[in-house]
Chain A
Amino acid sequence: MTNIIEARSVTKKVALGKDNELHILKDVNLEVEEGEFVSVMGPSGSGKSTLLYNISGMDRITSGSVKIKGGEIGSLKEEELAKIRLETMGFIFQDINLLKNLSLIDNVMFPALVSTDADKNVVNQKAKELMKMTGIEKLADHTITQGSGGQLQRVGICRALINDPAIIFGDEPTGALDSNSTEEIMSILAEINKDGTTIVLVTHDIKVAAKTERILVMADGNIVSQKKMRKYDAQRDDSKEREESIMKWLIENGL
C-alpha cells in the first residue's frame, strides 16, 4: 500500500503577543495509507485538531514537510492549495459550516459547480444520489434552518463527497450530535471508507474511534501512541468489543 499522507517533523507555532509563542505541534511524524480509516484522540489542547488542519493544508506548518499523494504541499501557492482542496480532499466540521444562503442540495452541489467544466445535470444527479445514500433526499430544497444537527451533518458529508475526494478529513464530525446521530454518521463514513476513500478524523469519543482501524493518541503536541485494529465491519456487530479493547489500551498506556 502507498502512503497518501506523509508528514515529517511537522511543527506548528502560534505567536502570542510580541515575544511569546505557543508550540502546538512538536516534530510530528505521520503516515496514512491509501484507504485507511484513522482517528486521532487526545485531551483538549493536545494538538489533534491542529494536526488535522496542518496536514490537510488548511493551515500552514511552521516547519517540516507534508506530502499528499506524494506531492509536497507546504510550498504550494494559495491557488494550488485550493485546487488540491477542491479535487483531492473533503472536510467535515463539528460546526457543520454550511453556506447560509444556499439550500441543502445547493450546498452539496456548490464545490462541484465551481469547476468550470462541470455539467450541472450530472452534478445534480450525483448530489441527489449522495443525499439518498445518506437518507436526506427529502430535504434537498430545504434551507439550513430547516434541518436538525444530524441531518445537516449528513449534508456536510455529501458536500465533502461530491468531488470524489481521495481523502476526507473530519474535525470531530459527531461532536455536536446525539448518540443515535453519531451512530448513523459513523456507519455512513465506514461505508465510504469501504469504497476506498481515506478518512482521517479527530474525536474524543471512544465509540467513534471504535469504528476506525487505527487510533492515534496525541499529548502535548505529539503522537504518543497508536493502536491498529481490524477494519470495522457493521455485519460483525462487534462494536462493544472494539470499544472495550480501546478503553483497556488507553488505561494500560496511562492515557
Chain B
Amino acid sequence: MFVKMVKNDFIRNKIITMTVFVFITMAVILAAGAVTNIGNLIQGISKFQESAVPADITVMHAGEYDQGKIDRFTDQYRDHIAMQETMVLQNIYGSNIHFGQNQTMAGTIQDISFVLQNKNFDFILNLDNEKLDVKKGFVAVPIYFMEQHDLKIGDTITVKSGWYENQFVISDYARDFEMNSPLTSSKRFVINQDDYNEMLKMQAGELEYLIEFKLHENGDAAAVQTAYNEAGLPANGPILEGEIFAIFNSMSDMIVAIVIIFISMLLLVIASLCIRLTFLATIDEDMREIGVMKAMGISRKDIKKVYLNKYRIIAAAAGIIGYLMSFAAVNLLNRNMKLYIASDLSGSLNYILALIAPILVYVMIVMYCKRVLKRIDKISAVEALRSDIMERGKNSFPLLKNKFFSTNIYMGLRDVGKRFRLYRLLLVIFIVCTFIVILPVNIYNTMSSPEFSSYMGIGKQDMRIDLRRTDSITEDFKKLQEELQNDSDIEKFAPYITSSYQVRNAEGSWDYMNIESGDFSVFPLKFLEGRAPEGEGEISLSLANAAKDGLNKKVGDEVTVKTDGQEQKLTVTGIYQDITNGGKTAKAHTSLGVNEEAILWYIVSLDLAEGVDARKKMEYYQNAYSTAQVNDIKEYTQQTLGNIINQMGTVVVGGISVAIIIAVLITALFLRMLLSKDMSQIAIMRSMGLTLKQISHQYMAGTLMVLIFGIIFGVLTANLLGEFLVSLAMSSMGAAKIEFVHIIWQTWLLCPLALIIAVGLTIYISCKVAVKDDLSVVLRS
C-alpha cells in the first residue's frame, strides 16, 4: 500500500513533482556554486597575499619628502616594524596615455601611475601570481585597464607628457594586491628601471610617494599609525591599513556569492511553497486513505513516511545532481576571480566544502516536510473518513451580502476568504515576485536620478568641474573662476577646495581628514540633521565621520582641527550622507582657510542659464582645461558608482524575467492543483446548470484578487522594507537613510501591469475547465 501510494503520488503530480525537483536542483547548484566560490576566494586571496606580501600600513603623500626622517622613525619603532619601503609613483594623466587607434585613457576616474617593482614587499604580480620582472621597453598593465580598454599582450601604449614620449609593449598584466579593485582609485603600471629613470629625468609625471610599512607578526598597526601622525611625518594623503586591500579585493566576488546564496534561498522558499501546495492538495485527497490506515492501526510515523519518502528521494536526487552540476556552474561565476585573484583555483577542499549545500538543502527540505506533515497528527481516523472535514468553517460571506458583484465573481472572491490558507501561498509568491521586480527598479531609479547626488555629499547642480593636482592647478583654478564669472551662459557657480587637515580623533590623537571648504549656500545639500556651515568656526560632518567608529560627534559638538600648526575648535552644525571617499568627508566654511601644502583637489559646481546647450558647454570647458574633469552631475554619479547602475539595469531586466517566470509557473501549478482538488465541486455546479465559462470566471476572479493584493503588498514591501534594507547595506558606505526616488508610473503601473498581463493570461488559460469525462464519473465517484 505504501509503495502504491508513493507511486500514485508521483504519477498524479508529475508536473509539480518535476517543478519541485528542478527548483531544489537549481537551489543546490547555486548554493554549492556560491560555497565553492567563497572557498576559492578565501584560498585564492590567501595565496595571493602570500605571494604579494602587501604592506600593513600605506601612507600616501605628495609634495616635500625626506626619506631620512622615515628611516629614523622606522629605526625607532623596530619593535613593530619589520620592513619599510617607499615607492615613488610617477602619476600620468589618462589623456597622456595613448593606445590603439588614437585612443587615450582620458576620462578615467582612476589615478594612473608608473612604478618600479618593489624590492622587499608589496610586490605586483603577473597572472601566475609570480613577481613581475619587466624588461626595457615593456610594461605590465593593470587588469582593470586591460578589461576597460580590451588591451592584449603585444599591444602598445604610448606615454606623451611634456617633452617625454615613449612607446611600451605590453608584456604582462599586473595583478596588484593593493590596487587591483575598481574601488581603489589608483592603478599602478609596472615598467623597467631604465624606462623609469628616463621618465623621472624628463619629469613626465607628478611624483607621489607610497610610504609603506611591513610589521612584525605581532606588531601593533594602530600604535605605529598614531606614532607616525604624532611625529608629523609626511602624510597629506590617506593612510591605509592592510586589511582594507583584502576587503576591496574580495568585495565584488563576495557580493556576487551572497547574491547567489540569496537567490538560492529564494528558490528553496519557492520549492517549499510548491511542496506545501502538493501536500495541501494530496493530503486532502488522500484523507480517506489516511483515515483507513489510521483505523487499521498503522502508526502516524509510518503514514508520514509515505509522504516523506517521496521528498527524501527528490531532495537526495536533486542534491546529488545539483552538487555535480555546481562544478560546471562555478566556472561561469569565477571569471572575475580567476582574473583578479588567482588563475588556478583548483583544490580538493572545495569539493568537501561544497557538500555543505546539498546536505543543508536535504535537511531543510525534510525538516520542512515534517513540519507540514504534523497536520496528519491532528486528524483522527473518524474525522479523516468524513470527507468534508477540511472545509469546516463559519458561515461567513453569505451570498445575500454581495452588493457589487455578480454571484459568480462573488463566489470566486469569497472562496479566497474561505480558503485563505490555500490562497495565501499564492499571495506570498505574488508578493515575492513583485518585490523582486520593484526593488531593483527603485534602486535603479534612485541611483540614476540627479537627486542621488545628495548621497554623495553634493547639492543639486547641473555640472561640476574637478581639478586634480598639477603644477598649474592654482593658476588654472583662478583662471577658471574668472572665466566662469564672465560667462553669461553660467547662471551661478561656487568653488570648493578640498585639503587634508589633521583632526583630533575620538581617542585624542591626530588623524588626517579631507575637509572641503566653500560657500555651501549656493548649492544647498540635503542634511540628515542640522544645517550647512554658514560662518566662521562651523563644520559639518559626513555620517561615517560623525559615527561612533569615526569622530563620534553629534550636532553641536566641537571638532579640533589643526590649521597652520594652530588648533582651532569648530562646531558641528550638521550631518550629511556621503558615499564618496570611503564615506569620510567634512565641509567647512571658507573662513577655515586653505591648507596650502595639502590641497587635494578643487571643484567648481555650476548651474547653466536656461536654454544653454550643456553638452557644448561641457566640451568647451573640457578643451580649455585639459587636465580637468568636466561632468554633468548625472555622468558624475555614473562614473563614481562605476558600473553599479548598469549592473542594476541588468538586475531589473533579470528580476522582471525571473519574477514573471516564477509567477506564471506557480500560478499555473496552483490552479491545476486547485481545479483538480475542486473537481467534485465543479461537477456539482455543472449539474446545477452553471456553464464552464461561469465556473472559470469564479476561479479567475479569486486568483486575480490575490494577484492584485499581492502586487499592492509587494510594492509597499519593496518601497518600505526595500528602503530599509538598502539603507542598511549602504550605511557601511556612508548613506544610512536612502529615500527611494519613485517613478509612480513604473512602480504602480508599468511593472504591476507586466505581472498582471503575464499572470492574467496564465490564469485565463489555466482556468479553462476541461471537460473530458461525463459528469456522472465525478458525481458518482
Chain A positions within 8 Å of B, measured between CB atoms, are 49-50, 53, 58-60, 78-79, 82-87, 89, 91, 93, 95, 97-103, 105-106, 109-111, 113-114, 116, 118, 120, 124, 141-145, 159, 163, 171
Are B388 and A100 in contact (CB-based, < 8 A)?
A: yes
Interface string of B425-446 (1 = CB under 8 A from A): 0000000000000000000000
Task: Return the contact of A78 from the options B407, B688, B771 (Cβ within 8 A).
Answer: B771
Which residues of chain B have C-beta atoms less than 8 A from A105's C-beta? 398
Interface string of B356-375 (1 = CB under 8 A from A): 00000000000000000000
- Confirm or deny: B339 has a beta carbon within 8 angstroms of a beta carbon on chain A: no
A116 to B685, CA, bound (A): 16
Q: List 13 A-B contacts (CB under 8 A).
A: A49-B780, A82-B689, A100-B388, A100-B391, A100-B681, A101-B418, A102-B399, A110-B407, A110-B688, A113-B407, A114-B689, A120-B399, A145-B388
Which residues of B in the span 378-402 have a Cβ within 8 Å of any Cβ on A? 388, 391-395, 398-400
Interface string of B742-781 (1 = CB under 8 A from A): 0000000000000000000000000000010011100110
Task: Give the Cβ gap from A190 to chain B, nearest Cβ, in Å.
Answer: 23
Which residues of chain A have C-beta atoms less than 8 A from B398's C-beta? 103, 105-106, 141
Task: Give the Cβ gap from B337 to chain A, nearest Cβ, in Å.
Answer: 56
Are B392 and A111 in contact (CB-based, < 8 A)?
A: no
Are A99 and B681 in contact (CB-based, < 8 A)?
A: yes
Are B392 and A145 in contact (CB-based, < 8 A)?
A: yes
Task: Return the contact of B776 from the options A58, A86, A98, A106 (Cβ within 8 A).
Answer: A58
Which stretch, B57-65, B344-352, B544-552, B691-699, touches the partner chain A? B691-699
Which residues of chain A have C-beta atoms less than 8 A from B408's C-beta? 114
A110 to B775, CA, bound (A): 19
A40 to B32, CA, bound (A): 68
Which residues of chain A have C-beta atoms less than 8 A from B395's C-beta? 103, 141-143
Which residues of chain B have C-beta atoms less than 8 A from A91's C-beta? 687-688
Which residues of chain A have C-beta atoms less than 8 A from B407's C-beta? 110, 113-114, 118
- By CB atoms of chain B within 10 A, which of A84, A106, A114, A118 has the most? A114
Which residues of chain B have C-beta atoms less than 8 A from A59's C-beta? 774-776
- Confirm or deny: B419 has a beta carbon within 8 angstroms of a beta carbon on chain A: yes
Are B418 and A124 in contact (CB-based, < 8 A)?
A: no
Are B692 and A78 in contact (CB-based, < 8 A)?
A: yes
Task: Give the Cβ gap from A213 to chain B, nearest Cβ, in Å.
Answer: 26
- Confirm or deny: B415 has a beta carbon within 8 angstroms of a beta carbon on chain A: yes
Q: Contacts A82-B689, A97-B687, A114-B407 given; indicate if A49 touches B399 (C-beta within 8 A).
A: no
Task: Give the Cβ gap from B369 to chain A, nearest Cβ, in Å.
Answer: 27
A251 to B203, CA, bound (A): 127
Task: Give the Cβ gap from B237 to chain A, nearest Cβ, in Å.
Answer: 73
Smallest CB gap from B690: residue in A: A114
Smallest CB gap from B693: residue in A: A79
- Confirm or deny: B424 has a beta carbon within 8 angstroms of a beta carbon on chain A: no
Which residues of chain B have C-beta atoms less than 8 A from A95's C-beta? 779-780
Are B399 and A83 in contact (CB-based, < 8 A)?
A: no
- Confirm or deny: B414 has a beta carbon within 8 angstroms of a beta carbon on chain A: yes
Task: Return the contact of B774 from the options A58, A110, A141 (Cβ within 8 A).
Answer: A58
A97 to B392, CA, bound (A): 15
Are A85 and B399 in contact (CB-based, < 8 A)?
A: no
Are B689 and A83 in contact (CB-based, < 8 A)?
A: yes
- Confirm or deny: B686 has a beta carbon within 8 angstroms of a beta carbon on chain A: yes
Smallest CB gap from A93: residue in B: B779
Are A114 and B394 in contact (CB-based, < 8 A)?
A: no
Task: Give the Cβ gap from A126 to chain B, nearest Cβ, in Å.
Answer: 13
Task: Give the Cβ gap from B592 to chain A, nearest Cβ, in Å.
Answer: 74
Task: Give the Cβ gap from B698 to chain A, nearest Cβ, in Å.
Answer: 10
Task: Give the Cβ gap from B216 to chain A, nearest Cβ, in Å.
Answer: 77
A93 to B683, CA, bound (A): 12
Q: Contacts A82-B689, A145-B388 given; indicate if A110 touches B415 (C-beta within 8 A).
A: no
A89 to B779, CA, bound (A): 16
Which residues of chain A have C-beta atoms less than 8 A from B406's C-beta? 116
- Confirm or deny: B200 has a beta carbon within 8 angstroms of a beta carbon on chain A: no
A98 to B779, CA, bound (A): 11
Are A110 and B779 in contact (CB-based, < 8 A)?
A: no
- Confirm or deny: B741 has a beta carbon within 8 angstroms of a beta carbon on chain A: no
Which residues of chain A have C-beta atoms less than 8 A from B779's C-beta? 58, 93, 95, 97
Are B684 and A98 in contact (CB-based, < 8 A)?
A: yes
Task: Give the Cβ gap from B641 to chain A, nearest Cβ, in Å.
Answer: 54
Task: Return the contact of A111 from the options B393, B419, B689, B774 (Cβ within 8 A).
Answer: B689
Which residues of chain A have C-beta atoms less than 8 A from B399's C-beta? 102, 106, 109-110, 113, 120
Task: Give the Cβ gap from A59 to chain B, nearest Cβ, in Å.
Answer: 4
Task: Return the contact of A159 from the options B400, B415, B688, B693 (Cβ within 8 A).
Answer: B688
Smallest CB gap from B678: residue in A: A100
Are A101 and B414 in contact (CB-based, < 8 A)?
A: yes
4 smallest beta-carbon distances between A and B, as pairs: A86-B689, A59-B774, A85-B689, A100-B391
Q: Contacts A97-B779, A106-B398 given; indicate if A86 touches B774 (C-beta within 8 A).
A: no
A87 to B690, CA, bound (A): 11
A98 to B688, CA, bound (A): 10
Task: Give the Cβ gap from A170 to chain B, nearest Cβ, in Å.
Answer: 12
Which residues of chain B have C-beta atoms less than 8 A from A109's C-beta? 399-400
Q: Contacts A82-B689, A120-B400 given; indicate if A101 touches B776 (C-beta within 8 A).
A: no
Task: Give the Cβ gap from A14 to chain B, nearest Cβ, in Å.
Answer: 9
Which residues of chain A have C-beta atoms less than 8 A from B414's C-beta? 101
Which residues of chain A have C-beta atoms less than 8 A from B692's C-beta? 78-79, 82
Q: Contacts A53-B774, A114-B694 given; indicate if A101 touches B415 (C-beta within 8 A).
A: yes
New A-B pairs, 10, CB < 8 Å, besides A97-B684, A99-B685: A50-B776, A59-B774, A82-B691, A84-B689, A99-B681, A102-B399, A106-B399, A109-B400, A110-B399, A111-B690
Task: Give the Cβ gap from A106 to chain B, nearest Cβ, in Å.
Answer: 5
Which residues of chain B have C-beta atoms less than 8 A from A118's C-beta? 407
A116 to B697, CA, bound (A): 14
Task: Give the Cβ gap from B687 to chain A, nearest Cβ, in Å.
Answer: 5
Task: Give the Cβ gap from A18 to chain B, nearest Cβ, in Å.
Answer: 17
Smallest CB gap from A80: residue in B: B691
A106 to B162, CA, bound (A): 93
Which residues of chain A have C-beta atoms less than 8 A from B687's C-beta? 58, 85, 91, 93, 97
Task: Give the Cβ gap from A91 to chain B, nearest Cβ, in Å.
Answer: 5
Are B774 and A60 in contact (CB-based, < 8 A)?
A: yes
Task: Give the Cβ gap from A102 to chain B, nearest Cβ, in Å.
Answer: 7
Which residues of chain A have C-beta atoms less than 8 A from B775's C-beta? 53, 58-59
Are A86 and B392 in contact (CB-based, < 8 A)?
A: no
Are A85 and B776 in contact (CB-based, < 8 A)?
A: no
Are A99 and B684 in contact (CB-based, < 8 A)?
A: yes
Are B776 and A143 in contact (CB-based, < 8 A)?
A: no
Smallest CB gap from A102: residue in B: B399
Which residues of chain A have C-beta atoms less than 8 A from B694's C-beta? 114
Which residues of chain B have C-beta atoms less than 8 A from A97's C-beta? 680, 684, 687, 779
Which residues of chain B have C-beta atoms less than 8 A from A89's C-beta? 689
Task: Return the contact of B691 from the options A78, A102, A111 (Cβ within 8 A).
Answer: A78
Task: Return the contact of A124 from the options B400, B415, B686 (Cβ within 8 A).
Answer: B400
- By CB atoms of chain A within 10 A, which of B388, B391, B680, B688 has the most? B688
A100 to B408, CA, bound (A): 16
Task: Give the Cβ gap from A143 to chain B, nearest Cβ, in Å.
Answer: 5
Which residues of chain B have C-beta atoms less than 8 A from A110's C-beta? 399, 407, 688
- By CB atoms of chain A within 10 A, which of B388, B692, B776 has the most? B776
Task: Give the Cβ gap from B105 to chain A, nearest Cβ, in Å.
Answer: 71
Task: Give the Cβ gap from B396 to chain A, nearest Cβ, in Å.
Answer: 9
Which residues of chain B have C-beta atoms less than 8 A from A93's C-beta? 687, 779
- By CB atoms of chain A within 10 A, which of B388, B391, B395 has the most? B395
A253 to B391, CA, bound (A): 48
- By CB atoms of chain B within 10 A, which of A79, A84, A93, A100 has the most? A100
- By CB atoms of chain B within 10 A, which of A50, A102, A105, A144 has the most? A102
Task: Give the Cβ gap from A13 to chain B, nearest Cβ, in Å.
Answer: 12
A97 to B781, CA, bound (A): 11
Q: Contacts A53-B774, A59-B774 given; indicate if A101 touches B419 (C-beta within 8 A).
A: yes
Smallest CB gap from B417: residue in A: A101
Which residues of chain B have C-beta atoms less than 8 A from A101's C-beta? 391, 393, 414-415, 418-419
